[in-house]
Every structure is written in structure tokens, then in C-alpha cells.
Structure 1
Amino acid sequence: MSAPMGAPMDAKPSDPAAPVDRGLSLNRILAVLTKEFIQLTRDRLTYAMILVMPIVQLLLFGYAINSDPRDLPTAVLVQDHGPMARSALSALAHNGYFKIVREAASPEELDQAIARGEVQFALTIPADFTRRVVRGDDAQILVEADASDPAATGGAIAALANLPRTALSRDLVGAAGRRDEDPFEVVIHRRYNPEAITAYNIVPGLLGVVLSLTLVMMTSLGMTREYERGTMESLLATPAKPIEVMIGKLSPYVVVGLIQTVVILVLARVLFSVPMAGGWDALALGVVLFILGSLSLGFLISTVARNQLQAVQMSFFYILPSILLSGFMFPFRGMPAWAQALGSVIPVTHFLRVVRGSLLKGLGLVDLWTSLAALAVFVVAIAAAAMSRYRRTLD
């Protein structure tokens, strides 16, 4: 029988007696290894993520994260301008945990400042403070703490225990200085979370994290999957405009986000007894804006990513700072100034302020308008960027 055309006459591919190379070949291993490195360098986005992600984690955990915040903004209402009151105020300012940033003119102004989150602590020195200290007549000062985040105030509240013994050490002389009891008492009022229950802070914050994880990643993966499978070609052949495609693709996920919101809020109340103080108008608007912003970001990621792996990587590159710099896991005011500035750009930060402010403090649209405005700007900016990058043709 003649050999197949083009084949060598002495070739015997089916000869069972032919030797089989069952050993490892260093050359073949090196060839495959070289191919993988070349493929990795061609995928520049994946290569950049591999290098950048460890650096970002190192910087965040090494410099930005601080579980014992200092220099917490404090507002004071001083109704006694005597020497004892000035000494107590000076001792508080040099404590290291408190930074006096505002002097209120009335109790209403002080209450508004702590309710809106403008300050972490509010100190009130009553008008008869000096007289009561001199007479030994149960002098008191009031310290109100925004305890919605127990981790942010725990260290500062503990430091207040030494204030009565050290603040007036130079002012009390003679018999007044030899008294065994403290010259005054610090009355601490933990507002919004008097029992320092961590779940009251963490569970509402989970709403922002869950929506970010699901909506951003689901949208980016869903759109990128259509490009990989080629089904986007049919969509691009239609006369649909970019905004129409965007609305049609994202509308189902809006419903998913709303369902997740309702489920989390119900479970937060039933399982963890999270207080629902009110502020439903601000909460509803904040949820809608955050859902739209998250979906728009996922759509934008899908216009940049070339495959689903890149979409996942880019999603996590957004989600990681959102968890660490938003105040969800660590006190926001415990971070350095540069980290707080970076965290203020992240929409999750403002969404958490809306959720916690409405649920724990009962704040409404008037009180939370700055955070709501930041979410609205994020939605507009990301949606505009996503539509501008939407590809009308497959290049």
C-alpha cells in the first residue's frame, strides 16, 4: 500500500513499537512558560492590576487605617468664663483625642452640629461651674458623643476618666486642693447608640457594601459577557441609541437593588433590632441615587474591560477602597487627611452617611443634602462617561 501523498515514505505514525517520550522536558516547560509571560505582558490591564493591588493594600492598611482616632472634632458651649472653666477647656484641648473646631452660641446650635455629623463630640460647661467647683458642690460638665460608631468614640470616652483629676491641678490650692474626691464630674451622654452596639453601625453600612458588590460587578460582567459571546453585535446593529441601551440594560438591576435594600432593612430590624428613627425621604432618595451610580459604574467598567476577568479585577479595584476608606470597617475620622480626602470622593462614603443618618438619627433631606448632592454628582459624571465610551461598533 502506497504512503499518503506528502508523507515521508519511512513514517510510521501508528507503529506500536515506536518509542513514547514519557519524561519531562525542560525545553517544553520553558516554551510554555515563555508563552505565558508573553501573554501576560500583552494583557496590560491585568498586569497593572497585579502590580497595583498589593501596593494599594499596603498603603491603605499601613497608613490610612487607624482604630484609635485622635483629634476628633469637638464643639463647645461655654456658659462659664471663669478660670476653672478655662482650665477644664484647655485640658480637654490638650488631651489628644479632642480638637475644638467650633464654639456654639446656644444648645440648639450644639445639638444641630452633632446631629448632622459636623462634630464627633459636644461639650457643655454650665454657667455655675466655677462656683460649684470652689464650693465642692457637685460640679459637672456634659460631654455628648456621636456614638453611632462606637469604635470612633471608645478611646476618647475612656480618656475622659482622667480629666477631672488633672484639669484643675494648678487652680485648686489650699483646702480645695486637698480634697479626696474629684473637683467635678464628667457626665457622658452617648447619643444614637447609648449601649455601644456595633451592629447598629455595621448592619446599615452593609447596605452600601452589598449594593456595590452585586450591582457594579453584575453589570460589568453582564455587559462584558455579551461582548465575549458576540451577542452585542446584534444589539449594535439596531438603531438603539447609547442612552436607550443603557436604560434598557440597567433597568432590571435597579429592581434587583431595590429588592436587596428592602431585604437588608427588614432583616436589620428583625434580627439585629437596628433602630429606624425616620428620615425615610432622604433614605429613599439616597438608595435610588446610589443604585443608579453603581450601575452606571458597572456599565463604564464594561466599556473598558476586554473580558470578564478584567471586569472582575476592575470591580474589586473600586470595591476595596470603598470598604476600607468609607468608614464602614474603620472610623472615618481616624484616617489621615489625605485618606479622608480620598474617601470623600468614594460614593459609598456619602451613602453610608445617608443610611446611618436617617436610620440612627432620623435626619431628613435638609440635614443630609450635602451627601445626597455628592451622590447626584457621581451619578451624572459616571453616566456621562459611560455613554461617551459606549462603542457603537466592535473594533
Structure 2
Amino acid sequence: MSGLSFARIAAVMVKEFTQLRRDRITYAMILVMPLMQLLLFGYAINTDPRHMPAAVLSHDHGRLANAVVATLERTTYVDVKHLPGSEAEMDRLMRRGEITLALTIPPDFSERVLKGDRAQILAEVDATDPTAAGGVAAAVATLPSNAFRAELRGPAAKPVSPAPFEVVVHRLYNPEGITSYNIVPGLLAIILSMTLVMMTAMAVTREVERGTMESLLSTPATAFEVMIGKLLPYIAVGLVQTVIVLALARLLFSVPMAQTLAGWIALTVGIVLFITGNLALGYLISTVVRSQLQAMQISMFYMMPSLFLSGFMFPFAGLPGWARVLGEIIPITHFLRIIRGSLLKGQVLADMGTDLLALGGFLVVVAVLTVARSRTTLD
């Protein structure tokens, strides 16, 4: 047995660096993954979300009512982005998830404040996400003590107890702030993405490695027909996973379910689009990679932004602007709105239109790219 040879060690090192350079996907993962972690953890993650969207329906256009709205915005917890003309319009905004806070100021607000007659305003908070609801509720609770410091003069400006008006807070959809009502439905999106994308990517890549994919392409079946035939069984697998997760969510965590047939139809459409889009993405990954290891690496790489930029772990509206733009591209973002909206808010197809179109658009784009890549790779 010869002694330790630094020349042989150096030769093996050169060989490994050469192999690493040839394996571009793994090399990219080594460089890009730490950078993405740094950006996501440093900039996108926010445990104290601010600038949540709000709507104000004010029947009193006096100076004191305007002061309440201005003081609310100065807290930075909410941004008043909607001024609905009716309660029905504001309810629709809340049900669709376009606002987190709905503030209603009655017509006699200013008059009752000046008379010391215990005025009230109504603050309705979307409590489907308890983290976001907590900050917004805390912000509106400070209004009675801060709103009129610069507006009231004379005897009315003297400190009084109780406060000049009261904020009545109603937490909608999840009044008890139960975290599992928000997390468990979201887990369905994560479970489906993690399993279906990786399962499809690795299964198709395995067939390419073994040469069975070339045998399929030697048949009269087109690339599109091969893709459809391969995805249909996995769609059934995804539907079984969905049924199991929803059943356990109800039995173990008492998560509310859709209450109407229209709600279940809307949810089913969203589930089918989401499952099919994930499977198509897994198939697309298989046309890019050369091994099952690379397929797994890219699948895991896809899951990181999906976890942090979709609204699963942190309120989506509290993310920075650039993170929200990226999040809108991720299908999990739209499916989270669909599943939570259906189960907790009673949404139907009309309420989910934008998110269903986003999932459908994602599916079409990925399917076209997959077919194009399949023809290029396999010709």
C-alpha cells in the first residue's frame, strides 16, 4: 500500500471541480440558494405586517370624521385604498379579500362627539389570518385617544374619561382567532405542490434515464398526448390527497367547510386547476434536468419562494412591493386565496374570478412550454 499522495488527492479534486462545472444545475443551486435565502429572510419576511388594505364608508364628512381616517393612516398599519359607496360594496370587498379592515362612520358621529354622547364607529377586521388581524385591531383601538388631539378646542379638548368615542371591533370569518383555521387549509396547497411537482418531475426523469420515454415517442402518440396520458393518473392522486386533507382538517381541527353547492363547485374548479398546473410544472422540470437528483433540487428550490411569498407563512399584503409582484406569479398564492375564501368566507366562482384566471393562465403557459421542450429534447 503506497503512502499518502497529494498529487492523487489533487487529481481527484480537479476531477470533482470539473464534474461540478459540468453539472450546471447543481452549481446554480449552490450559488443561488443562499442568495435567495438572504433576500427572503432579510427583506420579505415580516412578522409585523403593515400597510394592510382598508376601506372606509363614512356617512359623516365633517372635520372630526376626516381626522379619524387621517389618524388611522398615520399608524402605518393600514392604507385606505377603497371608499365604497354602500355597505354591500364594502362587504363584497371584504369577502373577496381585497381589504383587511372595513371602517364605518355613522352620519351623526361628529355631532355626538361634540355633545359628549358616546359616539361609536364600526371596525370590521378580516380575521382569517390572526397575525394580520391582530395588528389592524390594535391600530384601530388607539383611535379614540389619538384622533382629536389637533381638532378639538376649548372644553372639548380637555382629557376626558371615557374617550370621546368608541371603536366597536368585529372580527369576521374567524372571530376567535384560531390559527389552525388559517394554517390547515393553507397546508393543502403546500402538500399538493411539494408532492405533485416533485413526484412528476422525478417519475418522468426516471423514464428518460431508463430510455422508456424514447420508446413512448416511437409510438404514434404526440408529445402532447404523452403528457396528458402521464398527468391524468397523478390528477387522481392529487384529488385523493385533497379529500384526505380536507377530511382530517374537519375531523381533527374543526376547520369550517364550504356551506353551499356553489362554494363546493368553485373550490373543486380551483383544486383541479391547481393540481393540473403543479403536475405540468413537474413535467416541465423533467424536460430541463438530466437526473432525478436535479429534479428534486429544482423542485425544492421552487418550494422556497412558494412558502414565503404566497401568504402561507406571512400576510401577503404585508410583503414589500417587489415580493408581492413575485408572489402573484406563484400559483400557491392564488390557490391559498381560493381555499381560504371558500372554506372561511363562503366565496363562490364570482368571488374567485381573478385567482381562477391566474391558475388557468399558469397552466396554459406551463403546458405550452412543456410540449415545446418535449419536442426539442426528444427529437
Question: Which TM-score applies when normalising by structure 1?
Answer: 0.92
- The aligned counterpart of 1:251 is 232
Q: How far apart are residue 352 of structure 1 and its match?
A: 0.6
- In 2, Cα distance between equivalents of 1:70 and 1:210: 29
> 274, 280, 285: which one pairs with 1:290?
274
- The aligned counterpart of 1:231 is 212
For the residue of structure 1 that corresponds to 2:220, the secondary structure is coil
> 168, 180, 187: which one pairs with 1:199?
180
User: Relative to structure 2, which stretch is displaced further, 23-32 or 54-63?
Assistant: 23-32
For residues 237-291 of structure 1, give each alpha carbon's deviation from its aligned partner in whole angstroms, at most 9, with x where no partner exists.
Answer: 2121111111111111111100000001011111111111431111000000011
Q: Which runs of 5 or more residues in structure 2 are unaligned?
A: none
| 1:266 matches 2:247 | yes
Contact preservation (8 Å) 1:53, 1:317: yes
Amino acid at match of 1:197: I
| 1:70 matches 2:50 | yes
Structure with greater helix share of residues: 2
- In 2, Cα distance between equivalents of 1:97 and 1:192: 20
- The aligned counterpart of 2:361 is 377
CA distance 1:344–1:394, change in 2 (3 Å):
closer
User: Relative to structure 2, which stretch is displaced further, 176-185 or 366-375?
Assistant: 176-185
For residues 304-342 of structure 1, give each alpha carbon's deviation from its aligned partner in whole angstroms, at most 9, with x where no partner exists.
Answer: 111111111111121111111000011101111111011
User: Relative to structure 2, which stretch is displaced further, 188-197 or 273-282?
Assistant: 273-282
| 1:147 matches 2:127 | yes
Q: How does 1:1-395 map to 2 (within 5 A)?
A: 20-21=1-2, 23-178=3-158, 179-278=160-259, 279-391=263-375
Amino acid at match of 1:165: S
For residues 183-219 of structure 1, give each alpha carbon's deviation from its aligned partner in whole angstroms, at most 9, with x where no partner exists.
Answer: 0111111111111111111100111111100110000
Q: How far apart are residue 161 of structure 1 and its match?
A: 2.5
Q: How far apart are residue 363 of structure 1 and its match?
A: 0.5
- Moved beyond 6 Å, runs of 4+: none
For residues 8-38 of structure 1, give each alpha carbon's deviation from its aligned partner in whole angstroms, at most 9, with x where no partner exists.
Answer: xxxxxxxxxxxx32x4322222111111111
Amino acid at match of 1:215: L
Q: How many correspondences in the alignment? A: 375
For the residue of structure 2 that corresponds to 1:186, the secondary structure is strand
Q: How far apart are residue 156 of structure 1 and its match?
A: 2.2
Over the residues paired in the alignment, what is the CA RMSD in angstroms?
Answer: 1.4
Rg comparison, structure with higher value: 1
- In 2, Cα distance between equivalents of 1:88 and 1:128: 14
Amino acid at match of 2:11: A
Q: How far apart are residue 392 of structure 1 and its match?
A: 7.3
Question: Which TM-score applies when normalising by structure 2?
Answer: 0.96
Contact preservation (8 Å) 2:217, 2:223: no
- In 2, Cα distance between equivalents of 1:45 and 1:241: 28
- In 2, Cα distance between equivalents of 1:304 and 1:95: 48
